[in-house]
Structure 1
Amino acid sequence: MLDPGETAASAGKEPRTARGRRTLRAILDAAAEEFGEKGFHEGSVSAITRRAGVALGSFYTYFDSKDDVFRALVRDMSDQVRAHVAPALKDAPHQIAAEQAALLAFIKFARTHKEIYRIIDEAEFVDPESFRMHYATTADRIARRLQAAAERGEVRPDVGEIHAWAIMGMNVFLGLRYSVWNDDVSPETIADVVASMLARGIATQE
């Protein structure tokens, strides 16, 4: 998420003023709407600037091309997810509760930002590096917090990268099913079921 001091603009075009950062934020938000509705190939720079309420020249003040704003948008959406989930993690009393809170926060985020799925999926073909980075950095954050929890004795000592990718994959597809395709189950119920599965597995309890 673009905050003061962070940059999403093309190299050498970073905003230097608060007004510039607001304009950049407006362009990114408009790009999310445009690409979310039309996709990358049908979306256009002129439509993005109309949505943002800025002049066409303002776009090129911060971005070199449609490809550049799309690439910046993928990074920005990853940052938005991270910023939305982070507070929930801080208040969790233990790691299973943290994963439960993270999923709950993500499901709620995805319900109000459904365009993230179309944009990230298109990134696989429009900008494969951004696509891979989105998932790799997300999995890395999960792996680090699982490993820290293992050191605290809250989860099994052998947790690692595979567990992190499994949790991320589960969360991604739960968001797709219960946020984008349909929201017929409460986020709390989804997070409760997953927390129980993480804590106890799915084998018959003896």
Structure 2
Amino acid sequence: MVQPLSRVERRKQDTRRDILDAAFECFAERGYHPTSITHIAKRVGIAQGTFYLYFQSKRDIIEQVIDDLVERLTSTLAALPPDAPGTLGDYRQQADHIAESLTGVFADDPRAARLLLLQAAAVDDEMAERVLTIYDLAAGIQATYLQHGVDAGYFRADLDVESAARAVNGMLFAAVMYQLRNPSPQAFESLTRTIRDIIIHGLTGATQP
């Protein structure tokens, strides 16, 4: 049986969340580099020393945000195994589930998505390399879905799976970035549906869904 958190532990969790919220707001208003620990602590209403009880630095905040996002993304995709679709119709249904699931991850906290997609790569060279590694990881996962389609016969036999995976992910990440600027669920659904149609027609050569 899970024991309920003590009042002290709940207060610590609340303070940590407040620091994250304040950091996101400061990054959005000022940018990452112009934001100081003092700005974040002042926004929360805590002493600067209190910040270091929860985070080593403002960079540590981005590290933890990315860790959390990667864990949620990989867990979401792991629940949708690439070898599940046996037909093109099955793949279309799975693609719908993937789009909905990934949208949910980013929709949970758009600020985290903004930080990952727009700001993290500008932090330093090491962080830029990590962001690129995440894109490579996502492309690798996408490639397994496409390779299964080739093996199962519902995607073209001559498909360049690696390049196609990067192209598909490029469209999906761009859709998320458009959503950050103009958060319209209807527009986002229309855009992702169009992307799925492009995938179906482009990767299969089919003229009908």
* TM score, norm. by length of structure 1: 0.66
In 2, the alpha carbon distance for the partners of 1:141 and 1:29 equals 31
Once the 2 structures are TM-superposed, how far is the Cα of residue 152 of structure 1 from its aligned partner? Answer: 4.2
- Tell me the secondary structure at the aligned position of residue 61 of structure 1: coil
Give the secondary-structure state (helix, strand or coil) at the position aligned to 1:72.
helix
Q: Would you say 1:33 and 2:25 are equivalent positions? A: yes
- Higher relative contact order, structure no. (Cα contacts within 8 Å, ≥ 6 residues apart): 1
Deviation track 1:43-79 (CA, whole Å, cap 9, x = no partner) reads 2323434556765334323433223323333333343
Q: Which has the larger radius of gyration?
A: 2
Aligned to 2:65: 73
- Give the 3 Å change call, closer, same or farther, for CA 189–48 of structure 1 in structure 2: same
Q: Distance in 1 between matches of 2:69 and 2:29?
A: 16
Quote the residue 2:34 is aligned against: 42
Q: In structure 1, what is the equivalent of residue 136 of structure 2?
A: 136
TM-score using structure 2 length: 0.66
Aligned residue pair count:
188
Do the aligned partners of residues 56 and 147 (structure 1) sit closer, same or farther apart at CA in structure 2, a change above 3 Å counting?
A: farther
Shift of 1:175: 1.9
Superposed displacement of residue 198, structure 1: 1.3
Match of 2:162 in 1: 161
Task: Tell me by how many angstroms 1:171 deviates.
Answer: 0.6
Q: What is the CA–CA distance in structure 2 between the aligned matches of 1:159 and 1:31, rounded to whole Å?
A: 42
Unpaired stretches in structure 1, ≥5 consecutive residues: 1-17
Identity score, percent: 26
On the 8 A contact 1:124/1:131 being kept in 2, the answer is: yes
What corresponds to 1:174 in structure 2?
A: 175
What SS does the aligned partner of 2:52 have?
helix
| Alignment counterpart, residue 57 of structure 1, candidates 41, 49, 52 | 49
Amino acid at match of 2:91: Q
> Aligned partner of 1:38: which letter?
R
For the aligned residue pairs, the C-alpha RMSD in angstroms reads: 3.8
Deviation of the 1:40 alpha carbon: 0.3
Gaps of 5+ in 2: 1-8
